[in-house]
């Protein structure tokens, strides 16, 4: 038995060293999300070894949520405690502040670790009564099973309540064992933050160091940060900037003020050689609004959907030596005429990339009709025109009845 324990400890140390090396070697210039993708040995440890808590397998996100069907929308969110404090020159915590150690003792049980088949991140319990856990969308995106581990090591199967890629937020639900009480964070007011205000960050860096605490200050309250998407477009988010140490696996974790209030959801850092102390979090005021939508409706209402899957193709001209891009619709849910076609303009604006296309329709709303000009699957050809009526974007997990 002792021999097996030594082997397990040795394997855990090796896995941690590998995680550190992957984290260091994977850095690149630019803002990056903080999900920690696990190698096979780490994934096994995360999903099978429960530490001191109750061992459980990961659950499907489509199973019964355990909610009382009689609960109304207001009932689903009323257990979330949100501050209504007035602005203060002293910041979101005002003058009623604690020492760092007191803040940690007060809030640490509300921060959880989240494990999926391919990675690990963090989350925060925002309702003890109903078991709502807020995290980042990129922590759970593409997964269908989630395990939430509490600070005491106990583990729970979680179900997906809702997710929103634009805000990078998601809500999971866990149901505590009979007689067990969860600890929820109290939400502060990020609009009251001031530059220089002290903060505490708690999360699961590297996906193996759950409950890690770091401290820092608010470096900026409304920093515009750009993220590159897989289709070549760019998403711009307004985030809180901090110098507190954060790493991969911290995504979905908590940023608290010195009153012990949750004022941000950690989601990114800037990584580049010679750059340190540039971490970012989603302001809790925005996160609260999105969370209420996800809890009550399971998605954020009013987001327009054109039904197109876009692909930006790059090529260089042999004769001119220039570098160009063209835009294709590889799939079209609402207008089959566009499938496989090259899009050249939308609403009269020439486009040659997904980023240009999204900028051209950025101000359109559900119910609007957009006009698209396209040619056949080639770089030349006659131009045709068609239209698409924008519908409300409904996530697949809802439309499929999950």
Q: What pLDDT is stored for residue 68 in this prediction?
A: 59
User: How far is it, in rounded angstroms, from Cα 99 to Cα 190?
Assistant: 20
Which domain covers residue 261, as residue numbers? 2-297
Distance between CA 11 and CA 123 in Å, rounded?
Answer: 26
Decide if pLDDT at 58 tops 80.
Answer: no
- Reading phi first (left if > 0) and then psi (alpha if -120 to 50, else beta), residue 338 is in alpha
Distance of CA 7 to the CA centre of its chain: 35
Which pLDDT score is estimated for 3? Answer: 42
Backbone angles phi, psi at 11, to 5 degrees: -65, -40
**Dist. CA 367–CA 330, nearest whole Å:** 23
- What residues contact 179, with CB distance under 8 A and at least 6 apart? none
Interval 173-193 mean pLDDT? 93
- pLDDT, residue 7, reads 43
Same-domain pairing of 262 and 372: no
Q: Which pTM was predicted?
A: 0.80
The number of domains in the chain is 2
Q: Which residue has the higher pLDDT, 4 or 297?
A: 297
Q: Which of 59, 109, 122, 138 is catalytic?
A: 138
Contact in structure between 218 and 196 (CB atoms under 8 Å): yes
pLDDT at site 31? 58
Q: Which phi and psi (to 5°) does residue 253 adopt?
A: -75, 180
- Give 370's pLDDT tier (boundaries 50, 70, 90): very high
Contacts of 121 (CB under 8 A, 6+ apart): 34, 35, 36, 113, 114, 135, 136, 139, 140, 204, 207, 249, 250, 251, 252, 253
pLDDT tens, residue by residue, 256-314? 999 999 999 999 998 777 788 899 999 999 999 999 999 999 999 999 999 999 988 88
Cα angle 316, 322, 323; round to 5: 50
205 and 107 in one domain? yes
The DSSP 8-state label assigned to residue 166 in this structure reads T
Per-residue pLDDT tens for 318-368? 666 667 888 999 999 999 999 999 999 999 999 999 989 999 999 999 999
The count of other CB atoms within 10 Å of the CB of residue 8 is 12
pLDDT digits (tens, 9 = 90+) for 117-159: 989 999 999 999 999 999 999 999 999 999 999 999 999 999 9
Domain end call among 282, 297, 312: 297
Active site residue 251: yes
Residue 62 has pLDDT above 90, yes or no: no
Identify whether residues 270 and 391 lie together within a single domain.
no
In the chain, the percentage of residues whose pLDDT exceeds 90 is: 63
pLDDT tens, residue by residue, 228-252: 777 667 788 999 999 999 999 999 9
Q: Is residue 124 domain-shared with residue 243, that is, in the same domain?
A: yes
Phi, psi (rounded to 5 degrees) for 172: -105, 160
**pLDDT classification of 47: cutoffs 50, 70, 90:** very low
Q: Are 13 and 138 contained in the same domain?
A: yes
Q: CA-to-CA distance for 122 and 146, rounded, in angstroms?
A: 12
What pLDDT was estimated at residue 56?
A: 37
- Do 174 and 309 fall within a single domain? no
84: left (phi over 0), alpha (psi -120 to 50) or beta: alpha
- pLDDT attached to residue 34: 57
More confident residue, 168 or 24: 168
The verdict on 193 and 315 lying in the same domain is: no
Q: Percent of the chain, pLDDT > 70? A: 78
Whether residue 35 is predicted with pLDDT greater than 70 in this model: the reply is no
DSSP letter for 358, please: H
Q: Are residues 283 and 355 in the same domain?
A: no
Statement to judge: residues 204 and 108 lie in one domain = yes
pLDDT at 11 over 50: no
Residue 326 confidence (pLDDT): 87
3-class SS at 28?
Answer: coil
Residues 6+ apart with CB under 8 A from 221: 190, 193, 194, 195, 240, 241, 283
Quick one: 231 and 312 in the same domain? no
For residues 156 and 145, the answer to whether their CB atoms sit within 8 Å is no
Q: Are residues 308 and 278 in the same domain?
A: no
Q: What is the pLDDT of residues 207-225, one digit of tens each?
A: 999 999 999 999 999 999 9
- The one catalytic residue among 168, 271, 306, 332: 168
Is residue 44 predicted with pLDDT exceeding 90? Answer: no
Distances (CA, A) of 139 to 34, 250, 267, 381, 396: 8, 10, 9, 43, 17
Of 278, 297, 316, which one is at a domain's C-terminal end? 297
Q: Please identify which of the residues 59, 251, 332, 353 carries the catalytic annotation.
A: 251
The pLDDT value recorded for residue 59 is: 40
Q: How far apart are CA 203 and CA 249, in angstroms?
A: 7
What's the CATH number where 253 sits? 2.40.10.120
Whole-angstrom Cα distance, residue 279 to residue 333? 38
Q: Which of 235, 268, 297 is the last residue of a domain?
A: 297
| 366 and 289 fall within a common domain | no
User: Would you say residue 164 has pLDDT above 50?
Assistant: yes
Locate 349 and state its tokens: 């604006």
User: What CATH number does residue 319 fall under?
Assistant: 2.30.42.10
Does 397 score more than 80 pLDDT? Answer: yes
């Amino acid at each position: 038995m002792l021999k097996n324990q030594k082997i397990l400890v040795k394997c855990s140390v090796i896995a941690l060293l590998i995680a550190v090396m992957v984290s260091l070697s994977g850095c690149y210039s630019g803002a990056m999300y903080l999900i920690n993708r696990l190698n096979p040995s780490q994934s096994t440890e995360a999903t099978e070894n429960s530490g001191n808590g109750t061992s459980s397998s990961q659950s499907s996100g489509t199973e019964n949520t355990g909610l009382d069907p009689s609960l109304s929308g207001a009932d689903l969110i009323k257990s979330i405690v949100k501050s209504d404090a007035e602005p203060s020159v002293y910041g979101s915590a005002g003058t009623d502040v604690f020492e760092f150690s007191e803040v940690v003792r007060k809030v640490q049980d509300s921060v959880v670790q989240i494990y999926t088949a391919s990675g690990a991140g963090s989350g925060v319990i925002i309702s003890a009564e109903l078991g709502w856990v807020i995290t980042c969308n990129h922590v759970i995106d593409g997964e269908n099973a989630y395990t939430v581990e509490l600070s005491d090591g106990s583990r729970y199967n979680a179900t997906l309540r809702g997710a929103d890629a634009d805000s990078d937020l998601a809500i999971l639900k866990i149901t505590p064992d009979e007689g067990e009480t969860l600890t929820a964070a109290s939400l502060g007011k990020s609009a009251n933050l001031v530059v220089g205000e002290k903060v505490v960050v708690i999360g699961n860096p590297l996906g193996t160091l759950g409950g890690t605490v770091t401290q820092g200050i608010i470096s900026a309250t409304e920093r515009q940060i750009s993220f590159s998407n897989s289709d070549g477009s760019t998403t711009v988010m307004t985030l809180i900037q901090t110098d507190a140490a954060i790493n991969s696996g911290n995504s979905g974790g908590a940023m608290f003020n010195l009153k012990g209030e949750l004022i941000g959801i950690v989601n990114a850092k800037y990584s580049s050689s010679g750059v340190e102390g540039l971490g970012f979090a989603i302001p809790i005021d925005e996160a609260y609004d999105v969370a209420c939508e996800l809890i009550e409706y399971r998605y954020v209402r009013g987001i327009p959907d054109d039904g197109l899957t876009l692909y930006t193709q790059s090529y260089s001209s042999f004769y001119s030596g220039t570098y160009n891009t063209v835009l294709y619709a590889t799939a079209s849910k609402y207008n089959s005429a566009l499938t496989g076609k090259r899009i050249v303009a939308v609403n009269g604006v020439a486009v040659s990339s997904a980023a240009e296309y999204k900028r051209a329709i950025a101000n359109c709303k559900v119910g609007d009709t957009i006009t698209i000009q396209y040619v056949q699957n080639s770089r030349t050809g006659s131009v045709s025109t068609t239209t698409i009526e924008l519908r409300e974007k409904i996530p697949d997990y809802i439309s499929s009845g999950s």
